[in-house]
């Protein structure tokens, strides 16, 4: 009997989760999000949406729709050039960092070798 009750409770919870996900999907689609994306978003948002009050739920929907609208906007023509320049500048800075780390590593190896040779000179066997 307990197993039946547990199974019934699980099915009720699963049904509520499915209906919440369906509601989320429908709300997103009504706001202009394509069905495939709305379905994926609904699956990810469903666990969190259960604990939200109606105002917070609307804010989450607004945020999801705004993120989709932001992705649809065409990029500026000069954006690719600017991004390429930023990536090149970042690569130059990484090279500088790599060179600094190599110098530091070499310096630390010399200190270690010097400490070992000093230690060996002090030992009497």
Q: Output the CA torsion 87→93→94→99 (10° steps).
A: 150
- Residue 25 pLDDT > 70: yes
Distances from the Cα of 45 to the Cα of 17, 22, 68, 100, 110, angstroms: 11, 11, 15, 45, 55
**Per-residue pLDDT tens for 81-109?**
888 899 999 999 999 999 999 999 999 99
- Residue 30 pLDDT > 70: yes
What Rg do the C-alpha atoms of the chain give, in angstroms?
Answer: 30
Whether the model pTM is above 0.75? no
**Per-residue pLDDT tens for 35-46?**
888 888 888 878
- State the chain's mean pLDDT as an integer: 77
Map tokens 């989760």 to a residue.
Answer: 17
pLDDT at 55: 80
Q: Please state which of the ranges 1-10, 54-63, 77-86 shows the lowest mean pLDDT.
A: 1-10
Give a three-class secondary structure readout of 13-72: HHHHHHHHHHHHHHHHHHCCCCHHHHHHHHHHHHHHHCCCCHHHHHHHHHHHHHHHHHHH
Distance of CA 61 to the CA centre of its chain: 19
Q: Please state which of the ranges 6-15, 44-53, 87-96 shows the lowest mean pLDDT.
A: 6-15
């Amino acid at each position: 009997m307990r197993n039946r009750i547990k199974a019934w409770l699980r099915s009720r919870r699963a049904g509520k989760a499915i209906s919440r996900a369906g509601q989320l999907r429908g709300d997103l689609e009504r706001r202009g999000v394509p069905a495939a994306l709305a379905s994926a978003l609904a699956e990810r948002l469903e666990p969190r949406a259960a604990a939200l009050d109606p105002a917070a739920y609307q804010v989450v929907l607004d945020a999801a729709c705004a993120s989709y609208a932001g992705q649809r906007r065409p990029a500026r023509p000069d954006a690719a050039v600017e991004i390429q320049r930023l990536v090149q500048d970042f690569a130059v800075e990484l090279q500088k960092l790599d060179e600094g780390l190599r110098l530091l590593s070499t310096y630390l190896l010399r200190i270690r070798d010097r400490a070992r040779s000093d230690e060996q000179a002090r030992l009497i066997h």
